[in-house]
């Protein structure tokens, strides 16, 4: 007996005792591998028992030629593959290795792509639904959906110039040093077009899907749902919110939601008090940003962030893109589904660079003594799970610094003091930004935003996220 993992990632391995008499059963997996992240079909192993029976007296080279001809005659476009013999438990099996295709979708020429553009989902091959088929067509044409013209939306110069101003302000806010700030250049209409946020229609500009998502965003599904559950199962809600509007504002709101529902303590460094969260919050923010950047905006579902006692789950609609797999992601490789959104998020310093977020998340969790995050297909989406300090209690990695809880009486008293000082300050001015309040209280801007998010009854906010101001009710 031999396991599928012997040949590679188990979900992308299929065992066949022999080539089925109905070739379509065999070709279904070949097509599905080509349309996703590749895979192997091993001939000469019984799938049910994993018994190695081999190919007997048949010539592996004649079989290879026969299979190669079968694939090229039945499938279109041409599927890239490699067929070779391998000795397993003293017997010869034939490995049919299929590589991720670049000319997607692949399908059976005689039956058409609508019915036979198979894809790989959770270790099985199935026909692509209409939305996934559209994604495959865009991949094959090397077209980014977010850079396509948003038909029916007219170009508005005032709205475009406002977006240019807004994204620069956000970029400056996200800079950590003066050198970084000095490197930020003005965003212009021409640069938006270069990024794909606008497209050219003759001599004029036209908005793309990215432009709409960054401005009014009327999409029913381009939203983030956040929920906190009691315990470790999806049963009793403690808090839930749905965030809409421009996608960069959704990101900020979702991030603040997470900060409100994870544990926080304090560390005194000399004369200064420093907030310590139980999780690497910079990496958590980038994880949410990656979900916004890499999700499928064709999919009729929303990003979901679920907080449990022992973990946080981030589910992003859309399968892995461009033949990627999780191991490639962990190593820092990246293929971007939404290039325009990725470019402008990078300009705004929301993410540092393509492909670096996942390796940094893994490294940061390791530094915090946390279990390594897990990555898995979740229906037609991707689920990333980050484990909280409670999960590490069982494996002995929990440290004093990581177990400070905001339920601690001293921390609660401090929070109450901060709220009183904020109300006192807001009572003396017409309104103020979070930066203004942070300077008065001597706290970080992110800390102030977190406190303000818990003061809905006493404080109201005015304006968009990047230029939001606060006043006493």
What tens digit of pLDDT does each residue of 289-332 get? 999 999 999 999 999 999 999 999 999 999 888 888 888 888 88
Confidence tier at 449 by pLDDT (50, 70, 90):
confident
Mean pLDDT of 424-450: 83
Q: Report pLDDT for 444.
A: 72
Sign (positive/negative) of CA torsion 26, 29, 34, 37? negative
Q: Is 404 left (phi over 0), alpha (psi -120 to 50) or beta?
A: beta
The structure's pTM equals 0.79
9-18, 236-245, 366-375, 388-397: least confident range: 388-397
Distance CA 251, CA 36 (A): 28
Q: Answer for the pair 163, 205: CB distance below 8 angstroms, yes or no.
A: no
What are the DSSP calls for 42-63, one per residue? EETB-TTT--B---TTS-HHHH
Q: Could you tell me the residue ranges of all domains in the chain?
A: 4-128, 146-210, 224-403, 409-472
**pLDDT given at position 59:** 95
More confident: 307 or 266: 307
pLDDT tens figures, 117-172: 999 988 899 999 999 999 999 999 999 999 999 999 999 999 999 999 999 999 99
* Eight-state DSSP code of residue 117: -
User: 354 pLDDT band (50/70/90 cuts)?
Assistant: low
pLDDT of 96 above 70: yes
pLDDT of residue 273: 65
224-403 has the same fold as 4-128? no
Q: Is residue 197 classed exposed, middle or buried when 0-12, 13-18 and 19+ CB atoms within 10 A define those classes?
A: buried
Question: Alpha-carbon distance 30 to 80, whole Å?
Answer: 10
Percentages helix, strand, coil for the chain, rounded to the nearest 5? 40, 25, 35
Residues near 399 by beta carbon (within 8 Å), at least 6 away in sequence = 369
pLDDT value at position 32? 96
Strand positions, DSSP E, 202-310: 204-207, 224-229, 237-243, 264-269, 272-277, 303-307
pLDDT at 402 > cutoff 80: no
Q: Are the C-beta atoms of 381 and 301 separated by less than 8 Å?
A: yes
CATH C-level class of 4-128: alpha beta
| CATH of region 224-403 | 3.30.565.60
Q: How many CB atoms lie within 10 A of CB 402?
A: 19
Provide long-range contacts, Cβ within 8 A and 24+ apart, for 134-142: 134/298, 135/296, 135/298, 135/318, 135/319, 136/35, 136/104, 136/105, 137/104, 137/105, 139/104, 139/321, 139/322, 140/102, 140/103, 140/104, 140/105
385: exposed, middle or buried (C-beta count within 10 Å: 0-12, 13-18, 19+)?
buried
pLDDT band at 442 (very low <50, low <70, confident <90, very high): confident
Q: Is the pLDDT of residue 353 over 90?
A: no
| Main-chain dihedrals φ then ψ at residue 58, nearest 5 degrees | -70, 145
The pLDDT value given to residue 94: 97
When the candidates are 1.20.1260.10, 1.10.3430.10, 1.10.3720.10, 1.10.10.10, the CATH number that belongs to 409-472 is: 1.10.10.10
Q: For 259-283, what is the mean pLDDT?
A: 81
Residues 388 and 398 sit within 8 Å (Cβ to Cβ): no
Surface-to-core class of residue 56, CB atoms within 10 Å of its CB (0-12 exposed, 13-18 middle, 19+ buried):
exposed
CA dist 435 and 425 (Å) reads: 13
Which of 376, 280, 259, 260 shows the shortest CA–CA distance to 325? 376
Span 397-410, average pLDDT: 41
Average pLDDT over residues 341-358: 86
Mean pLDDT, rounded, for 232-256: 95
pLDDT tens, residue by residue, 115-130: 999 999 888 999 999 9
> Two tokens at 355?
């492909």
pLDDT at 466: 63
């Amino acid at each position: 007996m031999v396991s599928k993992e012997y040949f590679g990632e188990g979900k992308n391995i299929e065992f066949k005792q022999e080539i089925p008499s109905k070739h379509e059963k065999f070709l279904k997996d070949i097509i599905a591998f080509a349309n996703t992240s590749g895979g192997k079909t091993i001939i000469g192993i019984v799938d049910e028992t994993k018994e190695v029976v081999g190919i007997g007296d048949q010539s592996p080279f004649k079989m290879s030629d026969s299979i190669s001809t079968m694939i090229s005659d039945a499938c279109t476009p041409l599927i890239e593959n490699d067929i070779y013999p391998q000795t397993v438990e003293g017997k010869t099996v034939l490995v049919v290795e299929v590589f991720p295709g670049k000319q997607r979708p692949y399908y059976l020429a005689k039956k058409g792509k609508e019915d036979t553009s198979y894809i790989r989902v959770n270790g099985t091959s199935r026909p692509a639904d209409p939305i996934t088929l559209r994604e495959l067509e865009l991949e094959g044409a090397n077209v980014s959906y977010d850079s396509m013209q948003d038909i029916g939306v007219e170009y508005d110069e005032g709205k475009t110039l406002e977006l240019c101003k807004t994204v620069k302000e956000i970029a400056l806010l996200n800079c950590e040093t003066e050198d970084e700030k000095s490197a930020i250049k003005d965003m212009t209409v021409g640069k938006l077009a270069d990024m794909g946020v606008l497209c050219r229609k003759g001599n004029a500009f036209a908005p793309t899907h990215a432009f709409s998502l960054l401005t009014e965003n009327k999409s029913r599904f381009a939203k983030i749902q956040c929920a906190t559950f009691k315990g470790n199962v999806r049963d009793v809600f403690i808090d839930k919110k749905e965030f809409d509007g421009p996608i960069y504002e959704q990101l900020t709101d979702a991030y603040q939601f997470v900060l409100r529902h994870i544990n926080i303590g304090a560390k005194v460094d000399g004369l200064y008090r420093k907030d310590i969260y139980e999780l690497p919050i910079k990496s958590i923010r980038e994880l949410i940003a990656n979900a916004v950047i890499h999700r499928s905006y064709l999919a009729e579902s929303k990003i979901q962030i679920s907080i449990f006692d022992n973990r946080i789950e981030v589910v992003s609609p859309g399968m892995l893109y461009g033949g990627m797999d999780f191991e490639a992601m962990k190593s820092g490789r990246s293929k971007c589904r939404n290039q325009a959104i990725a470019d402008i998020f990078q300009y705004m310093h929301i993410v540092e660079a393509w492909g670096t977020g996942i390796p940094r998340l893994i490294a940061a969790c390791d530094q915090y003594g946390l279990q390594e995050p897990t990555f898995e297909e979740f229906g037609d989406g991707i689920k990333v799970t980050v484990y909280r300090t409670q999960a590490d209690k069982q494996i002995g990695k929990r440290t004093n610094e990581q177990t400070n809880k905001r339920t601690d009486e001293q921390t609660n008293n401090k929070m109450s003091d901060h709220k009183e000082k904020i109300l006192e300050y807001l009572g003396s001015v017409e309104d103020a930004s979070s930066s203004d309040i942070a300077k008065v209280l001597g706290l970080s801007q992110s800390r102030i935003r977190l406190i303000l998010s818990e003061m809905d009854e006493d404080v109201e906010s005015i304006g968009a996220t990047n230029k939001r101001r606060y006043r006493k009710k």
